[in-house]
Amino acid sequence: MCAIETRNLTKVYRKRAVVDHLSLAVPRGAIYGFVGRNGAGKSTVMKMIDGLVRPTEGAIELFGSPVEGESVGDGGRAVPDARSRLGALIELPGVIPSLDARGNLMTKALALGIADASARCSEVLGLVGLEGAGRKAAKHFSQGMKQRLGIGLALLGSPDLLLLDEPFNGLDPEGIQAMRKLLVRMNEVRGVTIMISSHVLDQLDRMATHYGVIADGVLVREMTAEEVQRECGDSLLVRTTEPELILVGLEEAFPDVRITMEADRSLHITGDFEAAAVAERLHGLDATVLELTEAHRDIEDYFVELMEGGASHVQSA
């Protein structure tokens, strides 16, 4: 079962589709890294999932149930509490400036009807590192403290699903590390599904189990962390005088590796390969080798390439 599933999700502002027929699937129990440039549509997608923005068209399901206000195919009504299992921090933390950290948490806890609200608020303050904030009003918080409080508010109702939009904003390196470890622990110990957008790709690389890449409102690709690591691992660049024939020969010899022909007719080999074995096969094919270069692709470069390709590179995972 998916924790989140969207079908043809679209949002149009002033005749422009900022999210364009986006269909994504976030597996239950995943940490789903949502990657895209500023303005790509990440926040709008999260707002539609959270119910802050109404889609122009399309459908959203959470844990297999249509969200409130969405129609069910058989003419039935959507389950009204489909979003009750969700906690979110999208764009700016929604804090009450005149209240301290505990006051903000208590206000939301009472609104949610949380049993033993005081104890739960103390627990959350400890989780996000604000137990020492005292009676300082939120309007005097640093950006990092506000971000911690926003994450605390998202965690308050013990959600099964978290939507976090740039949660590392304003945090120092120590705070980023602590927050990353907290989210991973919640995922592994409590089974919380997390959809997280972030420009801090090295942090996503340390925690994400799945990825979705969006460019100009279009979902470019979804993939697992294993697929990303495989494609960002060691690669081999081969330039020959007859690349089409050599491509066929290499594919026959190495069926378990990925071999693609680039626009300049060079061959790009990724996966579990040995450069020496490839070189030996090229010799056996009587190939005239112009270049044979082994390289490692940086994960940031990899995602930039996907985002730059945009809709022209759309493919299923």
**Could you tell me if residue 111 is inside a domain?**
yes
Mean pLDDT score, 70-77: 47
Which residue, among 227, 230, 180, has the nearest Cα to 207 in the 3D structure?
180
**Could you tell me if residue 194 is inside a domain?**
yes
Q: Is 152 in the same domain as 284? A: no
- Enter the tokens of residue 204: 């996503």
Q: Is 182 in the same domain as 256? A: no
Q: Is 254 in the same domain as 119? A: no
Instruction: Say yes or no to pLDDT of 146 above 60.
Output: yes
Mean pLDDT score, 136-148: 93
User: How much of the chain exceeds pLDDT 90, in percent?
Assistant: 73
pLDDT at 315: 46
pLDDT at 72: 44
C-alpha–C-alpha distance, residues 312 and 297, integer Å:
21
**Could you tell me if residue 95 is inside a domain?**
yes
User: Which pLDDT band, with edges at 50, 70 and 90, does 77 fall under?
Assistant: low
3-state helix, strand, coil split of the chain in percent (to 5) is 35, 25, 35
Number of domains the chain is built from: 2
**Could you tell me if residue 313 is inside a domain?**
no
Q: Is 261 in the same domain as 211? A: no
Q: Is 208 in the same domain as 243? A: no
**Could you tell me if residue 302 is inside a domain?**
no
pLDDT at 68: 63
Instruction: Say yes or no to pLDDT of 200 above 70.
Output: yes
Instruction: Say yes or no to pLDDT of 271 above 80.
Output: no
The CATH number for 247's domain is 3.30.70.100
Instruction: Say yes or no to pLDDT of 125 above 90.
Output: yes
**Could you tell me if residue 103 is inside a domain?**
yes
Q: What domain range is 63 assigned to?
A: 2-222
Q: Is 80 in the same domain as 172? A: yes
Q: Is 209 in the same domain as 248? A: no
Q: Is 218 in the same domain as 240? A: no
Are 295 and 235 contacting, i.e. CB atoms less than 8 angstroms apart? yes
**Could you tell me if residue 308 is inside a domain?**
no
**Could you tell me if residue 9 is inside a domain?**
yes
Q: Is 175 in the same domain as 267? A: no
Q: What is the pTM of this model?
A: 0.78
Mean pLDDT score, 140-163: 94
- Greatest mean pLDDT among 78-87, 127-136, 222-231 lies in 127-136
User: In the predicted model, what is the mean pLDDT of the chain?
Assistant: 90
pLDDT at 69: 56
Q: Is 129 in the same domain as 259? A: no
